[in-house]
Chain A
Amino acid sequence: MIQNTLIEIRNISKSFPGVKALDNVTLDIYSGEVHVIIGENGAGKSTLIKIISGVYQNDSGELRLKGKLIHFTNPKQAIKAGISVIHQELSLVPDLTVADNIFLGRELIKGKFLEKREMNQRTQEILTSLDLDINPEEKIRNLSTAKKQMVEIARSVSWNSSLVIMDEPTSSLAKHEVDSLFRIIRKLKSENVGIIYISHRLQEIPEIGDKVTVLRDGVLIKTLPVNETNEGKLVSLMVGRQINNYYHRENKKIGKIILKVESITRKSHFKDISFYLREGEILGIAGLIGAGRTELLRSIFGADKIESGSIFLNGKLTDFNHPSQAIHNKIGLVPEERRDQGLLLDKSMRENVALPSLNIHAKKGFVDKLWEIKASEEYKKKLQVKTPSIEVILKSLSGGNQQKVIIARWLAADSKILLLDEPTRGIDVNAKAEIYHLMNDFTKSGGSILMVSSELLEILGIADRIIVMREGMITGILDHKEASEEKIMTLAALDE
């Protein structure tokens, strides 16, 4: 098996407003080899893939396919050139058959009629060559996720792809299905297909990978042959960096238990979750995307229903069916997507801040506009929200200021517990520091915070205790004094 250089990635950089997603990445992908790419959420893996597959265009640097310079402006060109991607969200049409999907866009026709028999036959040939037991005339919606993935791979083969990129292919597969997948990958390797394999499951790497590249904050940290490394080494490459010391943990008094969660479960989201939260405490929740952290917060807030287990607030059993009940009990949620879930973008700061508190300050059903204005002005000053006035609509504010408005809303509602979901995502450094300051002030006066974050340094810098979740379950609860990036990453990424 000849190992030719399939893709040459040279000094690729890509920026988006406010963030440099890829910084001068240089890397070689060989045919007949499985090259694994790992990194934390936001490390740049998905951006790199999208550039290679034509979804994005790189800002600078060069890309070569089999020695020839390439510059794709759309994914179709990449497919034609022999590069295909199997995304996490599968792109098959559910109501068409396997053969239909494989030939979609390049159907075999005789005059004006589809040559169904010919297409079915060709599909069968491809499936057989991959040792797949799938009927070409089966509708996609009747196949299991694993089989759907196989069909996607078969499609890449039918496109004569020389490079197949797989994004988290095993995230929804059972062990025996993973084995089938690996068998096919090895088959593709033997036919000199190059494979880029993105995964969070570090334990799979020795089984299927030949080389592994670690990305961190858009920078390529290292590329190594798989047999020269181990899981522990990979974890430290993924996380190790200088600690910024703008996180600030204050000395404060931690009081009694205010929230207690016992064995709560929401099927296919999280299972058997138990923990407690105390007054004055910041409890961080770490984990990778898909671990179920957002869903956990939403369920505590009453936005989604839990299926079993109990939640106790100040010792009393709660049964929230709707956020209005959580809000009444002085809980506030700062959602993950501030633009889609956190704010009414076409409304003013005043309206957004006042919304959950309107009914408390009502005067016989009428809005207490004086209170609204007073509260908004008060928090505009306290949180230093940069806006010309409380009447300006939120669309025109920066991300950091928008986030402050959401926090202001819950402070104005007199919340005692704040559920924060990625509170500093996409915010500039200064605004971040201000938000940490707010969090500390809040907890110093007895408030409690439950914070989901994908930034390890953030959690380590500000949380008093840290829960780590993996695939819907808690894998560990650490005190900040004993926690480290490696420990958290290990709990978040590795199978025990």
Chain B
Amino acid sequence: MKLRKNKLGDYGLLLTFIAICIFVSIMTPKFLLPQNIRNIMVQVSINALIATGMSFVILTGGIDIGVGSVAALSGIVVTAICKNFPEASIFLYICIGLLVSFIVGTVCGGFNALMITKFNVHPFIATLGMLSIARGLAFFYTGSKPIFGLPDSFGWVGQGYIGPVPVLIIIMILVLAIAHIFLDKTISGRYVYAVGSNEEVAKLNGVNVHQVKFMVYIFSGILSALAGVCLASKLISGQPAAATGYELTAIAAVVMGGISMSGGKGKIRNTIMGLLTIGVINNGMSLMRVSSYLQTIAMGFIILAAVAIDQYNIKK
């Protein structure tokens, strides 16, 4: 089924997605219930934030495997701060959340970019370092103990609604829309594609390649940190082990969506398809009571298949 993806271009993934939906709904009719659909979207929305940041980075030909750790760190930071404001309004929590996302994201992403540009560390290694450092900081600060004791209002972003729509889904849609417009219509977005297509050519056309790399790694950092804040709100707690493995899901979604690991090609809207496909597979497996360990194994295979097909297409 996945092989058809690239032969038919964008439509391959759509067909795969529809095929999986049909399959799952036959196995468990519960799949099509409105609240299940909403559940899928909510699960997907946090991963979507990370996958959006990952899209930027992979478009330049790089990778960021520290995203899960940055999300966890940011979740710890925001809960630690908000614990000092137990009577605060939702608005204040939102402001703190945005500030934390911005600062934690910029510091982590900027550090990655510095390693990659100035010290010529391969992106995989640089962000691997961040994976350890950020996760380590989260555990160190909390002594491995989750941060509890936050009021229910803190959970509005992660569990609340605006009308019939969960807040998380609105955030996801906003982020995806902004990312799409940025990549598709702005000059900086064009520069991202140029750098991913051929760095030397981009440079000889006046693109400041280092600046572009700083930008994408900082974006990835901020979006991962934002995902971490949302997750902390959803759980109304700061979990140092949160978002473990989220980097794999993000990479799988991005690559399945057709953004090639070689950089320079692909669209955000296709990342959404990748996310939904993975979301449906996860949801389907849960509904069918597949053990969560088997789910992890399945996810591993899916990622391998997606990246292998991508590599095959690069060679072509």
Contact = CB atoms under 8 A, between A and B. Distances in A.
Q: Do A and B come from one complex?
A: yes
Given A346-B264, A359-B187, A324 B201 contact: no
Interface centre among A340, A366, A369 (most CB of B within 10 A): A366
A344 B187 CA distance: 16
B202 to A, nearest CB: 8
Contacts, number: 72
A365 B206 contact: no
Contacts of B38: none
Interface stretch (B97-105, B127-135, B190-198, B284-292): B190-198
B204 A344 contact: no
Interface residues of B, number: 22
Contacts of B191: 358
A355 B194 contact: yes
B203 A355 contact: no
A366 B264 contact: no
Given A365-B188, A367-B186, A344 B203 contact: no
A343 B264 contact: no
Interface string B6-38: 000000000000000000000000000000000
A324, A328, A351 interface centre (most CB from chain B within 10 Å)? A324
A323 interface: yes
B190 A355 contact: yes
Interface string B70-92: 00000000000000000000000
A59 B187 CA distance: 49
A358 B198 contact: no
Contacts of B152: none
Contacts of A345: 197-198
B180 to A, nearest CB: 13
A342 B201 CA distance: 6
A358 B187 contact: yes
B265 A344 contact: no
A188 interface: no
Contacts of A327: 205-206
A340 B200 contact: yes
Contact of B185 (A342, A343, A366, A409): A366
A341 B206 contact: no
Interface in A279-332: 301, 303, 322-324, 327-328
A130 to B, nearest CB: 41
B198 A344 contact: yes
Given A324-B206, A341-B201, A346-B265, A367 B187 contact: yes
Contacts of A342: 201, 204
Given A344-B197, A344-B264, A323 B185 contact: no
Interface in A36-70: none
Given A344-B197, A346-B265, A366 B187 contact: yes
A351 B201 CA distance: 12
A362 interface: yes
A183 interface: no
B207 interface: yes
A73 B163 CA distance: 73
Contacts of A194: none
B169 to A, nearest CB: 27
A323 B201 CA distance: 11
Contacts of A347: 193-194, 197, 264
A324 B264 contact: no
A346 B189 CA distance: 16
A323 B204 contact: yes
A324 B208 contact: yes
Instruction: Please classify the interface of chain B as helix (H, G, I), strand (E, B), loop, or mixed, using the class held by over half of its residues.
Output: helix
A335 interface: yes
Best-buried of B185, B186, B204 by chain A (most CB within 10 Å): B204
A461 interface: no
Contacts of A362: 187
Contacts of A153: none
A366 B186 contact: yes
Contacts of B189: 367
Contacts of B198: 340, 343-345
Nearest to B185: A366
Contacts of B205: 323, 327, 355-356, 409
B302 to A, nearest CB: 26
A335 B200 CA distance: 11
Nearest to B198: A344
B197 A346 contact: yes
Contacts of A301: 204
A333 interface: yes
B201 A367 contact: no
B204 A303 contact: yes
Nearest to A301: B204
Interface string A351-386: 100011011001001110100000000000000000
A301 B206 CA distance: 10
A333 B200 CA distance: 13
A333 B204 CA distance: 8
A359 B211 CA distance: 15
B204 A341 contact: yes
B206 A356 contact: yes
A344 B61 CA distance: 14
B243 to A, nearest CB: 32
Contacts of B185: 366-367, 369
Contacts of A358: 187, 190-191
B206 A323 contact: yes
Contact of A343 (B190, B193, B201, B208): B201
A409 B208 CA distance: 18
Contacts of B188: 365
Q: Which 9 interchain pairs have the tightest Cβ spacing?
A: A324-B206, A344-B197, A327-B206, A355-B205, A356-B205, A358-B187, A356-B206, A365-B186, A323-B206
25 contacts: A303-B204, A322-B208, A323-B205, A324-B206, A324-B208, A327-B205, A333-B204, A335-B204, A341-B204, A344-B194, A344-B198, A344-B201, A345-B198, A346-B197, A346-B265, A347-B197, A347-B264, A351-B193, A355-B205, A355-B206, A362-B187, A365-B187, A367-B186, A369-B185, A409-B205
Given A322-B208, A347-B193, A347-B194, 4 more contacts: A324-B207, A333-B204, A342-B204, A344-B197
